Chain A
Amino acid sequence: MNDRAAAARPLKVELREVGLRYFGREGETEALAGISLGVAEGEFVSIIGQSGCGKSTLLSLVAGIMAPTSGAILLDGRPVRGPDRRVGYMLQQDYLFEWRTILENTLLGAQIQGVEPRAARDRAVMLLSRYGLGKFMDHLPRQLSGGMRQRVALARTLCTDPDVVLLDEPFSALDSQTRIAIADEIADILRREGKTAILVTHDIAEAIGMADRVIVLSRRPGRVRSSHLIEFASAGAARPSPMQARNAIEFNGYFNRLWQELEVHVEG
């Protein structure tokens, strides 16, 4: 356990002994058990674990669209009771609405939250222009490539200006080159804007490349198995981009350690 970075700043998100059980006709499933972790303000945390270990569920709990069976989730020290404006969520695919233009899609969250339309529009236009989508604002989602659509999804998430951004394998639908490029871009944007971010992924390289800290979950029921601070002393003061991080000398060490932690077994 290594939480030096987290200890320095106030906790933005905190999970205390969180447990979750699913109930169904075939019985109950324990998805998460006794999860305790804290994410400091401005910190970028990756959570890795094998499929079905409850990673995505963890994000749904922080987002307030599900309630834990036991334990508590705190945002700025107060319990989460439902979806909160301070939290933005990027799902596994862009889920752009095909009947809305790019600009209208970007405005979805702002409209739901009743943000003043002109202010919301200005912010959406600013974000889209900044992400290189200024020319496509009146296009429909089907006219855009996968990478562009994912940038629109990011603009939609950031349009409501959340403090915390939850990323649920947001690159899994992209081809591998676009995936690395977009991860680079999104990590850069989130870091520059000082967002607190929690990324869920099963891609070890992605987790190391983007995060300040990587948390490994065990198999179901998911528990915190270990927590690894990611530092690239060799890269100097500035944090390297996810792509540069892959070339840093520390990278392989982290990768091998996490690989062993994950206890990957290929069923044969």
Chain B
Amino acid sequence: MSRADPGVIERAEAAAPSAAYRRFLRAERRGHLFVRLAQAGLLLVFLLFWEFAPRYGLVNPMFTSYPSALWPTFLGLLHGTANQPGILEHAASTVVATVVGFSGAMVVGVIVAAALWWWKRLYRVLDPFLVVANAMPKIAFVPIFYIWLGATLSIYGMALAISVFITILMLHAGFEGVDANKVKLAQTFGASRWQVLRMVVLPGSVPTLIAALKVNTGLALVGVVVGEFQSASLGLGYLIQYGSQVFKLDIVMTAITLLAVLSALMYLAIAALERRVLARR
């Protein structure tokens, strides 16, 4: 058994890069730089327009505030007042509810999707209900959740309700999509159903789990903010509601900007997780 196997990748990497390859790398780097600059440029144009459109009377500053007003507003809200907590407490409350929401959706999603994979007939029975439940605008339930669950729990409930059905549907599709031949292979070794789930289906669905996480974090944040509109005295959703009622758009815009920052941070966290987990594939 002594034959040189073609197609082992390592060989190509050892040689010194040719001039053509270096040119290719330079072009790649330039392309990357262009994308980053374009992204920064777009953001800058947006901020400049937002800053100067009100100043030159194109829009009413009452309605839009200015980017330059956000930072002072943020600092002003930092410490809060006697009957109003600081903005970071609002943000923390929103973040906690969101994390609870998408974690709950992930846990429930994995369990339910596994059950539907295990009992195919159960899936056939529940499928239309799940599809309808997913398509329903869950926001319609915000007032009812408030009555049923109270101020805090209704927010968690909304975050879960809005993200759990799509998570179940995505994960179930992922579980069923695992290569049937890999399942067959495990069965030829005498694998039980539980072993197939644990050793083939779940590890084979990791990309789907990450994709579901990406979707349901965003949805959970929507659920939380909408829930806070209705019922909270804490949270960025509440702050937006409060700011608009007293017509202080500075507050509203600061809270919205903070939400954008939080979304970006969550996205970066998931992207980092994805790189770690999928590095092995």
**Chain A interface (Cβ < 8 Å from any Cβ of B):** 63, 65, 82-85, 87-89, 91-93, 95, 97-99, 108-109, 111-113, 130-132, 140, 142-148, 160, 181, 185
Contact = CB atoms under 8 A, between A and B. Distances in A.
A83 B187 contact: yes
Given A91-B181, A112-B186, A113-B190, 16 more contacts: A83-B187, A83-B188, A84-B190, A91-B185, A95-B181, A97-B203, A99-B204, A109-B189, A112-B199, A130-B1, A142-B281, A143-B8, A143-B10, A145-B5, A145-B7, A185-B1
Interface of B: 1-3, 5-10, 179, 181-182, 184-191, 195, 199-200, 203-204, 206, 280-281
A99 B202 CA distance: 11
Given A144-B8, A145-B6, A160 B189 contact: yes
A113 B189 contact: yes
Contact of A99 (B6, B184, B187, B280): B280
B276 to A, nearest CB: 13
Most buried by B among A91, A95, A145: A95
Contacts of A132: 1-2
A205 B2 CA distance: 23
Given A93-B181, A95-B181, A146-B7, A65 B204 contact: no
A108 B281 contact: no
A112 B191 contact: yes
B5 A65 contact: no
A89 B280 CA distance: 27
Nearest to B7: A145
20 contacts: A65-B188, A83-B187, A83-B188, A91-B185, A95-B182, A98-B281, A108-B199, A112-B190, A112-B195, A112-B199, A113-B190, A131-B1, A132-B1, A140-B281, A143-B9, A145-B6, A145-B8, A148-B5, A148-B8, A160-B189
B189 A83 contact: yes
Nearest to B6: A145
A85 B190 contact: yes
A167 to B, nearest CB: 12
A87 B200 CA distance: 21
Nearest to B9: A143
A193 to B, nearest CB: 14
Q: What 8 A-B pairs come out closest when comparing CB atoms?
A: A145-B7, A83-B190, A89-B188, A109-B189, A112-B189, A112-B191, A145-B5, A95-B185
Nearest to A109: B189
A99 B9 CA distance: 18
B203 A99 contact: yes
Nearest to B8: A145
Nearest to B186: A112
A206 to B, nearest CB: 18
B190 A111 contact: no
B70 to A, nearest CB: 45
Contacts of A95: 179, 181-182, 185
Nearest to A143: B9
Nearest to A85: B190
Contacts of A63: 188
B4 to A, nearest CB: 10
Contacts of B189: 83, 108-109, 112-113, 160
B190 A140 contact: no
Contacts of B10: 143
A63 B2 CA distance: 32
B159 to A, nearest CB: 30
Nearest to A100: B203
B280 A82 contact: no
Contact of A140 (B3, B5, B280): B280
A111 B199 contact: yes
Nearest to A94: B185
B212 to A, nearest CB: 17
Contacts of A145: 5-8
Contacts of A140: 280-281
